[in-house]
Structure 1
Amino acid sequence: MSHAYALNEDVLHRGQGPQGRVTVEQPKVYTIVQRLPIEADGRLRYRIRSKLENIERVATEDQLSYCL
């Protein structure tokens, strides 16, 4: 199993849903800064950095999509 996204690639990150919020957040543009090792659950993870805010987070591959 290999990572689909490359370092420094721009991607869209989808939020995890409402979780008590009234509205669903629109996908935001992030840059891949690190591809993380595959963990025990088998999901691929990435460290991503926001293009608009000073935020870094870890996201699973299924939360990301290519920017158009």
Structure 2
Amino acid sequence: MSHAYRLNDEVLHRGQGPQGRVQADVPKIYTIIQRMPVEADGRLRYRIKSDKIERVVTEDELSYCQ
């Protein structure tokens, strides 16, 4: 299984609401700063950054920035 996004790619992050429900907020633009190892659940994770905010997200929460 390989990562779909590369370092320094700009992506949109769709925020997750309570208990994983997708929020209606406008997605924010982040930059991929690290591709994380595959976890036991098999999902691919990334460390992303926007301004002063850094977070670790799964690949299914991201999409390419147009």
Q: Displacement, 1:24?
A: 2.4
- Say if 2:24 is the partner of 1:24: yes
Q: TM-score, normalised by structure 1?
A: 0.86
Q: Which residue of 2 aligns with 1:5?
A: 5
Q: Displacement, 1:26?
A: 1.0
Higher helix residue share: 2
Root mean square deviation, CA, Å: 1.1
List alignment gaps of at least 5 residues for structure 1. Answer: none
Q: TM-score, normalised by structure 2?
A: 0.88
- Whole-Å Cα distance in 1 between the matches of residues 30 and 45 of structure 2? 14
Which structure: larger Rg?
1
Q: What is the aligned-residue identity percentage? A: 71
Moved over 4 A (4+): none
List alignment gaps of at least 5 residues for structure 2. Answer: none
Question: Per-residue displacement from partner, 1:12-47 (whole Å, max 9, x unpaired)?
Answer: 000013x3xxx7221000000000000000000000
